[in-house]
Amino acid sequence: MENVQKVAELIEKRVIAKKGGGEKRIDSQHAKGKYTARERIQMLLDEGSFEELDMFVTHRCTNFGLEKEKYLGDGVVTGHGTINGRVVFVFAQDFTVFGGSLSETMAQKICKVMDMAMKMGAPVIGINDSGGARIQEGSNSLAGYAEIFERNILASGVIPQISAIFGPCAGGAVYSPALTDFILMTEQNSYMFVTGPKVVKSVTHEDISTEDLGGAKMHSSKSGVAQFSVEDEQAGISLIRDLISYLPQNNMEEAPVIECHDPIDRMEDSLNEIVPDNPNKPYDMKQIINGIVDNGEFLEVHANYARNIIVGFARFNGVSTGIIANQPSILAGVLDCDASRKAARFVRFCDAFNIPILTLVDVPGFLPGSGQEYAGIIVHGAKLMFAYGEATVPKVTVTIRKSYGGSHIVMSCKQLRGDFNYAWPTAEIAVMGASGAIEVLEGRALKGIEDPEEKAKFIEEKEAEYKKKFANPYQAASMGYIDDVIEPRNTRFRVIRAFQALQTKRVTNPLKKHSNIPL
Ligand code: HXC
């Protein structure tokens, strides 16, 4: 063959490879409102930056006549490119080739980019759209999954791993995304479950739709499996690009600092009046967050799950920061099992990737009751405490209003190595709220008072006495547990100053194989 022909052959092979499973299957993918693997990668990466690898890999299976059906690249498109100029490694399962099902060779392709991402210290983004294990390959496919899972595990805490679910993701296949840092699902076409509706029906007789069993809405609000639910693939891809901008390339680096045009000493006057006089009245913590971060930009994570706590990324003076904040407008901001788990995982992500943490506190306590106790609130609360207490990144805490009992300790208090602990004048730091405290402290005296009016007056007086002592930040500040009481409208400036002072913070934990966080 002449050299010119050789080049022509290469070009032809590339054209064939790019067609995946063929025009018909591409059309069918589009008809479902889905993009193809290559289209997705193209949208995700900076224009022209994608370098594809292993385009000529084909499967090696000879069962069920499969040797007669081969597609260049097999069922996944892999390679690297950039997002806003920063390198990322990607793989996108190609549903047009055997339904994106995982073969031995496909697993090898995915493992190759994961290994490269680890070697180079760059994030991995996986786009999942697959019928699961390639049935014809039997245990070779299962072994391939296990190879991927092991890499997910070893990469955890070293490089950011993001999973987009843009189609089916069922059976054991769900465990690769589950081992990564963030899962994003689309409201249509995307589902994840260990066993599908048909198996559920045959085993438990439960009738349930695909959507209710494993759709984006369910996973982003009920199970908490997905951190993000988006309307469509385009929205999902733009969210991934945004998310990546808050993250470092790996655990040895810091997140990129973006030039900040929002004045660091910007006063937010509205904050002086945001907390209602009545301590039982809610307000929206997101208004405080939006008021203090750069340009009011906040990327909320797990927005629809355990909404009584808010977690997400923002910037202070251009520096990426993780925010954890109780939300008094949902269940009074109480800590329950789900909120504790959600916040704990976020704290650990930030700590693993050198992202400083700001904690905004307004928490009445842990949610009481048998439901929570049976669900293991003790362990889940301990998880959050563990995460905060172990974290060595800069930690700034601002107590806005309530901070009672165990929940005060959990929410990044001074003794859990909070670096700067500030409070607004509206803060109340105590073992418990006034009414609960008086019931305990004055129980015997109250029993002796028959007249209801006299009883009410007694309670009122005692509560007033208690509030005078504890419904403020000054008792804690007098002990040095609160470093300063700050004017609410000046919070942005004080937080930025605190983080600036913490830039060179170095704290290490005792040497160990690993901790034993209460899981
Ligand atoms: C081989 C598969 C496949 C699979 C789909 N295909 N899944 N080939 N192995 N697992 C092929 C189909 O034969 C078809 O080929 C093409 O992909 C598209 O599939 P359709 O069924 O036509 O598409 P659709 O109607 O959209 O349905 C998609 C689907 C369905 C819901 C994913 O294909 C399905 O139920 N597949 C099987 C899912 C499954 O049970 N997988 C194993 C799960 S257990 P043609 O040639 O017609 O285009 C598992 C264990 C993992 O994964 C363990 C890890 C530890």
The tens digit of pLDDT for each residue in 366-387 reads 999 999 999 999 999 999 999 9
Q: Does residue 170 have its Cβ closer than 6 Å to ligand 1?
A: yes
Rounded distance, CA 153 to CA 175, Å? 11
* The token pair that represents 30 in the structure block: 């589009």
Query: Nearest C-alpha to atom 28 of ligand 1 is from which residue?
Result: 131
Pocket test for ligand 1, best of 19, 61, 101, 150 (most atoms within 8 A of CB): 101
Mean pLDDT of 249-276: 97
* The token pair that represents 413 in the structure block: 């208090």
Which tens digits make up the pLDDT trace of 44-65?
999 999 999 999 999 999 999 9
* The token pair that represents 484 in the structure block: 């300063």
Is the pLDDT at 1 greater than 90, yes or no? Answer: no
Mean pLDDT of 437-461: 91
Query: Nearest C-alpha to atom 18 of ligand 1 is from which residue?
Result: 99
* The token pair that represents 461 in the structure block: 């007086």
Confidence of residue 189 (pLDDT cuts 50, 70, 90): very high
Query: Nearest C-alpha to atom 23 of ligand 1 is from which residue?
Result: 99
CATH numeric code, 269-427+472-501: 3.90.226.10
User: Nearest 10 degrees: CA dihedral of 342, 345, 347, 352?
Assistant: -160
Residue 342 alpha carbon to ligand 1 centre in Å? 33
Confidence of residue 434 (pLDDT cuts 50, 70, 90): confident
Mean pLDDT of 207-235: 97
SS3 readout for 499-517? HHHCCCCCCCCCCCCCCCC
What type of residue is 321?
A: T
- For residue 196, the ligand 1 atom closest to its alpha carbon is 40
Rounded distance, CA 220 to CA 304, Å? 6
Helix (H, G, I), strand (E, B) or coil at 183: strand
Residue 173 alpha carbon to ligand 1 centre in Å? 12
Where does CATH 3.90.226.10 sit in the chain? 2-244, 269-427+472-501
SS3 readout for 223-287? HCCCCEEECCHHHHHHHHHHHHHCCCCCCCCCCCCCCCCCCCCCCCHHHHHCCCCCCCCCCCHHH
- For residue 132, the ligand 1 atom closest to its alpha carbon is 52
Task: Give the up-direction half-sphere exposure of residue 303: CA atoms within 13 A in the CB hemisphere.
Answer: 11
Q: Does residue 142 have its Cβ closer than 6 Å to ligand 1?
A: yes
What distance lies between CA 146 and its chain's CA centroid? Answer: 24
Q: Tell me whether residue 340 is exposed, middle or buried, using C-beta atoms within 10 angstroms of its C-beta: 0 to 12, 13 to 18, 19 or more.
A: buried
Which tens digits make up the pLDDT trace of 63-88?
999 999 999 999 999 999 999 999 99
Largest CA distance in the chain: 108
Is-contact 91 113, C-beta < 8 A? Answer: yes
Show Cβ contacts of residue 17 under 8 Å, excluding neighbours closer than 6 positions: 55, 56, 71, 72, 73
pLDDT of residue 433: 85
Rounded distance, CA 212 to CA 200, Å? 12
Is-contact 412 373, C-beta < 8 A? Answer: no
Mean pLDDT of 212-226: 97
- This prediction has a pTM of 0.96
What distance lies between CA 380 and its chain's CA centroid? Answer: 17
For the chain, how big is the Rg over CA atoms in Å? Answer: 27
- For residue 168, the ligand 1 atom closest to its alpha carbon is 32
Q: Does residue 133 have its Cβ closer than 6 Å to ligand 1?
A: yes
- How large a percentage of the chain has pLDDT more than 90? 93
Question: Residue 44: which of 182, 228, 233, 188 has the closest Cα?
Answer: 233
Architecture of 2-244 per CATH?
Answer: Alpha-Beta Complex (3.90)
Q: Mean pLDDT, the chain, as a whole number? A: 96
Question: Residue 73: which of 57, 59, 89 has the closest Cα?
Answer: 57
Q: Does residue 71 have its Cβ closer than 6 Å to ligand 1?
A: no
